A and B are shown apart, each in its own frame.
Chain A
Amino acid sequence: MSAWPDKGKDDCVERLRDGVSGHLRRAGAARRRNLRNGLLFCSPALLGLAVFTLYPVLASLYYSFCNYPMLKPPVWVGLANYKTLFRDPVFYTSLFNTAYYAIFATPLGIVTAFLLALLLNQKVKGMALFRTMFFVPSIVPMVAASVLWLWLLNPQYGWINVVLHALHLPELKWLADPDQAKPALILMSTWGVGGWMLIYLAGLQDVPKELHEAAEIDGAGPVARAWHVTVPFMSPHLFFTLVMGFIGAAQYFTQAYVMTNGQGGPVDSTRFFSLYLFQNAFQYWKMGYACAMAWILFIVILGFTLLLFKTSARYVYYGGE
């Protein structure tokens, strides 16, 4: 308790006694005290920033110009890591895989979550139960979900193929086929859109009912109303999930690691950027190379996020007031 600065009672009493002149004299002291208090309260984050962010960021940048096999100290090699990287075909494969996943999984997730939110926003009985049904898959731990989907996508005995068979559709090889592995992972990701659905559902409560009624009187059908009234009002939510989804997709790792046992097979089709980075760092012990990859990832994420924010004024509508 004593370690914490106390702006105590006596301070107030003094302030009253000294009157206005004393108050002004004390303003500087109060400012200094506030600065000290503020820094003290923020000290965990300031320390954390220095130790767990600033130092690692600088070290990572340094390592990216080094040959660093972990057990030996890093040796400066200049741009060699970046040069090797840009000639590494697996680097381009991993980049392509990640872009493929981000381009398909994120919009598909957003559309699915949005349609589900519209559906779950209808006023019918028993909706709480249905909302739970759609939401719960999103909180299943990622590894558990990956193991489950590995079984569901099993080409011989998995239930997805059982359902396809029952519907007289061709059965697929899923994760056993290089062309179908990424679509399989994308399909799996749509199972976990419950979190986004919940965000949209919360946002849908704020769409003004008057506008819907006005549009209805003007003869707009349900689809036209959803497109011209709901979507513009939801655009901040949609934009937020787009940014988060993109950042998440760029770092897609856990599912790919679990479902391919850290290999990224078949034929590198699920060797995503983060997986290849991890392999370089902790399987091949090429730490410098991995750091160079990490910086490229950072720059891509930063660039794309800034691009999204810069252009957002054109398609995001933040209220009419």
Chain B
Amino acid sequence: MAESREKARQHSVSAGVLLGPAPRRTKKPVRFLSRRLVAAVTYFWLIVLGTAFTLPFFWLVSTSFKPPERIQRWPPDILPRLSVHLTQNLPNPADNGRRVVIVDRLPGERFRIRPLDAGYRGRRVVHIENLRATEQTRPGLALYNYTRGLVFIPFFQQLRNTLVICVACVIGTMLSCSLVAYGLAKIDWRGRNVVLMIILSTMMLPFQVTMVPLFAVFSRFGWVDTFLPLTVPAFFGNAFYIFLLRQFFLTIPQELEDAAIIDGAGHWSVYARIVLPLSKPALSAFGVIAFLGSWNSFIWPLIVINRPSMKTLPIGLQSLQGFYGDGNWAVLMAGAVIASLPVLTIFLLAQRQFIEGITLTGLKA
């Protein structure tokens, strides 16, 4: 098709030599202009919409560094600012009336302060009653939001829990799914298509159907409040990844395996030494998506984990939200930042796997 048009173009050029300039030529400057116009319109929308998509992030990070008393303000601070206070009613009269910046809020209305006056030698932790937002502020980060949530929720413990569960799930899913996919793609046995159809049909089943009996079973096993209900099922395959890996294995040339089998290899060695090494790109792409899915899983850990120290980060963040309700947004935002950081880090480190994984799996948005 392209060839024929190339010919047509040549033809029209040669015709143009004979019959004067082709009408296309007169159009050229117009097209050039419109291309610049298209680029300008494209940039306009990219910047407007890109800002709209990015602002929530900016607001998330900015809020997470604001002192609580500066959050519920109109108009809001764009970048975090710390309030400047005059210390009053302190034991040492020399400390009174000094301008200080509050750098940390401690339990019991006590505040860690940083004096603005270099000559100040007073206490660094003071008790301030009826703290109100003052008009005087200076730029600064309220880092204490990141540790404040720890009073109520063992955040870093939960971060560790989530990482352990996610890594176990990814290893389990990739291991079991690649084995099953190998069995379905590379071994010719009676009934494999039936098994494939049964596995695929389970993708239609909403989790809500199996949720209650699974909970009943796991609580009978005494597995509630352990990581086992969250990790063990991953070692028994997942229809989605089995199907995707099977499709990938089918693209590996049969000749490689035939050669290996003639050299005396069994299916296990073909799987471990040929198919797995060749599938590294697919496994890493799907692994990243499996990690993302596991990191996002909510309803199942919500059901099977009750003890705060065993909770995953999403559940912990939810209980923090339930605890604060409409209250301390800065601490909630700090929690949301902590919950997002591992995923965003993986995205930055493994962008290619991420993008391939999503285009291949059609991740639910």
Within 8 A of B (CB), among A174-221: 189, 191-196, 198-199, 201-202, 208, 210, 213-214
Q: Determine whether B1 belongs to the interface, using a CB cutoff of 8 Å to chain A.
A: yes
Most buried by A among B5, B38, B266, B303: B266
Given known A44-B180, A194-B365, A294-B211, contact A35–B191 (CB-CB < 8 A):
yes
What's the Cα separation between A42 and B339 when bound, in Å? 36
What's the Cα separation between A297 and B207 when bound, in Å? 10
Residues B43 and A124 in contact, CB atoms below 8 Å apart: yes
What's the Cα separation between A42 and B321 when bound, in Å? 43
Nearest chain A residue, comparing its CB with the CB of B323:
A261
What's the Cα separation between A193 and B333 when bound, in Å? 22
What's the Cα separation between A57 and B202 when bound, in Å? 10
Across-interface contacts of B204 in A (CB, < 8 A): 301-302, 305
The 3 A-B pairs at the shortest CB distance, nearest first, are namely: A48-B236, A41-B183, A9-B264
Q: How far is the CB of B350 from chain A (nearest CB, A)?
A: 11
Q: How far is the CB of B281 from chain A (nearest CB, A)?
A: 16
Q: Determine whether A157 belongs to the interface, using a CB cutoff of 8 Å to chain B.
A: yes
Residues B268 and A244 in contact, CB atoms below 8 Å apart: no
CB 8 Å contact bits of A127-144 with B (1 = contact, 0 = none): 000100111111111111
Residues B189 and A38 in contact, CB atoms below 8 Å apart: yes
What's the Cα separation between A244 and B361 when bound, in Å? 11
What's the Cα separation between A1 and B268 when bound, in Å? 8
Within 8 A of A (CB), among B22-45: 38-39, 42-43, 45
Across-interface contacts of B42 in A (CB, < 8 A): 119, 122, 124
Q: Determine whether A93 belongs to the interface, using a CB cutoff of 8 Å to chain B.
A: no
Partner of B339, one of A5, A143, A156: A143
Q: Determine whether B17 belongs to the interface, using a CB cutoff of 8 Å to chain A.
A: no
Residues B208 and A277 in contact, CB atoms below 8 Å apart: yes
A-B contact pairs, 16 of them (CB 8 A): A4-B267, A8-B266, A9-B264, A35-B191, A41-B267, A41-B271, A46-B195, A63-B213, A116-B49, A130-B46, A143-B339, A154-B329, A195-B363, A201-B359, A240-B362, A250-B206
Within 8 A of B (CB), among A225-283: 240-241, 244-245, 247-248, 250-251, 253-254, 257-258, 261-262, 274, 277-278, 281-282
Across-interface contacts of B332 in A (CB, < 8 A): 147, 150-151
Q: Determine whether A26 belongs to the interface, using a CB cutoff of 8 Å to chain B.
A: no
CB 8 Å contact bits of B231-248 with A (1 = contact, 0 = none): 001011100001000000
Q: How far is the CB of A81 from chain B (nearest CB, A)?
A: 12
Residues A152 and B56 in contact, CB atoms below 8 Å apart: yes
Q: Determine whether B87 belongs to the interface, using a CB cutoff of 8 Å to chain A.
A: no
What's the Cα separation between A208 and B1 when bound, in Å? 10
Q: Which A residues form the contact surface with B (CB < 8 A)?
A: 1, 4-9, 12, 31, 34-35, 37-42, 44-49, 51-53, 55-57, 59-60, 63, 70, 109, 113, 116, 119-120, 122, 124, 130, 133-145, 147-152, 154, 156-157, 159, 162, 189, 191-196, 198-199, 201-202, 208, 210, 213-214, 240-241, 244-245, 247-248, 250-251, 253-254, 257-258, 261-262, 274, 277-278, 281-282, 287, 290-291, 293-295, 297-298, 301-302, 305
Q: Determine whether B153 belongs to the interface, using a CB cutoff of 8 Å to chain A.
A: no
What's the Cα separation between A35 and B73 when bound, in Å? 70
Across-interface contacts of A46 in B (CB, < 8 A): 195
Q: How far is the CB of B54 from chain A (nearest CB, A)?
A: 5
Partner of A157, one of B60, B73, B266: B73
Residues A136 and B57 in contact, CB atoms below 8 Å apart: yes
What's the Cα separation between A101 and B190 when bound, in Å? 44
Q: Determine whether B205 belongs to the interface, using a CB cutoff of 8 Å to chain A.
A: yes
Chain B count of residues within 8 A CB distance of the other chain: 105
Residues B208 and A137 in contact, CB atoms below 8 Å apart: no
What's the Cα separation between A40 and B266 when bound, in Å? 13
Residues A144 and B340 in contact, CB atoms below 8 Å apart: yes
Q: Determine whether B84 belongs to the interface, using a CB cutoff of 8 Å to chain A.
A: no
Most buried by B among A135, A189, A241: A135
Within 8 A of A (CB), among B195-246: 195, 198-199, 202, 204-217, 233, 235-237, 242
Q: Determine whether B156 belongs to the interface, using a CB cutoff of 8 Å to chain A.
A: no
Residues A44 and B179 in contact, CB atoms below 8 Å apart: yes
Residues B318 and A257 in contact, CB atoms below 8 Å apart: yes
Nearest chain A residue, comparing its CB with the CB of B176:
A44
Given known A141-B296, A143-B298, A258-B321, contact A210–B365 (CB-CB < 8 A):
no
Q: How far is the CB of B72 from chain A (nearest CB, A)?
A: 5
Across-interface contacts of B195 in A (CB, < 8 A): 42, 45-46
Partner of A48, one of B176, B268, B359, B362: B176
